[in-house]
């Protein structure tokens, strides 16, 4: 184990020492590499932001104030404080003023209404209406030579539903026997 510590880079040794100081005795070796990656990514982000702040201020180089500002903006962006306890209590009081709906307790498990379940039909089929006599004749004219005296078109009876209105159709599922 002492031989392993000698082969580690200085930053890895620091991470290992930090883990030991926090009471972490057992961990996988890749944990150190993950912490190092997180550490490097954070430092690069902070220094990049500090460079942007420095350029915006017209400074030739990054100084301590730029780094502090970058860290502060990173903390403000990454971590948010929870609202004060008084605000949470007021929100809870307002929410709890509204009573829960009365439940109609019956035997068995209470289920949601049928329209809110996944087993209710959730589709509509548009059933095409019968073609009018005139449309049938036009199709026949395209297929066969026209008769010299075609019969007069028959009047179509009005249906109960206007054309193009979808009708709800569902089919019960039968139990399968094995």
Lowest-pLDDT range of 10-14, 153-157, 162-166:
153-157
* 47 vs 153, residue with greater confidence: 47
Kindly tell me if the per-residue pLDDT of 54 is higher than 90. yes
At 89 the three-state DSSP class reads helix
Structure tokens at 124: 């509509």
Residue 108 lies in a domain: no
Whole-number pLDDT of residue 95: 94
Domain count for the chain, please give it: 1
Strand partners, 125: 167
Q: Is the dihedral of CA 68, 70, 75, 76 positive or negative?
A: positive
Report the chain's mean pLDDT, rounded to a whole number. 78
CA-nearest of 22, 4, 25 to 13 is 4
Rounded to whole angstroms, the Cα distance separating 57 from 79 reads 26
Residues with Cβ within 8 Å of residue 35, at least 6 apart in sequence: 15
Sign of CA dihedral 27, 29, 31, 36: positive
Is the pLDDT confidence value at 90 over 80? yes
Q: Can you tell me the distance from the alpha carbon of 113 to that of 69, in angstroms, rounded to the nearest whole number?
A: 56
The pair of structure tokens assigned to 26 is 């057992």
pTM: 0.43
Q: Which residue range forms the structural domain that includes residue 65?
A: 10-97
List the CATH number of the domain containing 59: 1.10.20.10
* Mean pLDDT value across residues 168-172: 65
Tens of pLDDT, residue by residue over 132-154, are 666 656 666 655 555 555 555 55
Decide if 53 is inside a domain: yes
In a domain, residue 168? The reply is no
Average pLDDT of the residues in 51-57: 94
């Amino acid at each position: 184990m002492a031989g392993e510590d000698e082969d580690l880079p200085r930053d890895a040794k620091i991470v290992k020492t930090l883990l030991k100081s926090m009471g972490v005795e057992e961990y996988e070796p890749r944990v150190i590499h993950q912490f190092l990656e997180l550490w490097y990514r954070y430092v690069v982000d902070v220094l990049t932001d500090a460079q942007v702040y420095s350029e915006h201020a017209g400074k030739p180089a990054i100084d301590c104030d730029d780094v502090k500002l970058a860290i502060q903006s990173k903390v403000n962006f990454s971590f948010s404080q929870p609202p004060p306890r008084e605000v949470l209590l007021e929100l809870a009081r307002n929410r709890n003023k509204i009573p829960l709906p009365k439940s109609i307790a019956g035997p068995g498990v209470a289920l949601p209404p049928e329209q809110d379940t996944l087993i209710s039909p959730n589709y509509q089929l548009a059933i095409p209406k019968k073609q009018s006599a005139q449309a049938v004749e036009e199709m026949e004219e395209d297929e066969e030579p026209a008769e010299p005296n075609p019969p007069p078109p028959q009047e179509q009876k009005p249906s109960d539903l206007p054309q193009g209105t979808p009708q709800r159709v569902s089919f019960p599922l039968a139990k399968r026997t094995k």
